[in-house]
Amino acid sequence: MSRVFRMSVASVYPLYVTKVEKKGRTSGELDEVICWLTGYTEAQLRRHLDEQTSFEDFFGQAQMNPNAALITGVVCGVRVEEVEDPLMRQIRYLDKLVDELAKGRPIDKVLRN
């Protein structure tokens, strides 16, 4: 798992964009979801992408949304709420939100409003 922690967010971000755009969503919506989860502004998100920040540092510096704990379900066969490692759980939260966005779930539901 530590290999995933050292990966840059920027290396995975284009895959997220492709996934949501294939389903008719926008990169702006993706950014909104990421910013909601992490507490980053759009500018801060761009800086992390430009600087090739690792997932470990990206989530280490984030101010996670208090409603992140409401994110439940299965990603890649794993229940996100049962992931024990806090960093891996945060990565799975992001994966789950991207999945929900790509599946056409309304943005207010994705953001747990």
pLDDT tens digits, one per residue of 12-42: 999 999 999 999 999 999 999 999 999 999 9
Q: How do the domains of the chain map onto residue ranges?
A: 2-107
**pLDDT at residue 1, as a whole number:** 57
Residue 113 in tokens: 């409003």
Question: Of the candidates 68, 67, 110, which has an alpha carbon nearest to the alpha carbon of residue 91?
Answer: 68
Quote the Cα angle for 49-54-55, to 5°.
Answer: 100
pLDDT classification of 6: cutoffs 50, 70, 90 = very high
Helix, strand, coil distribution of the chain in percent, nearest 5: 65, 5, 30
What CATH class has 2-107? mainly alpha
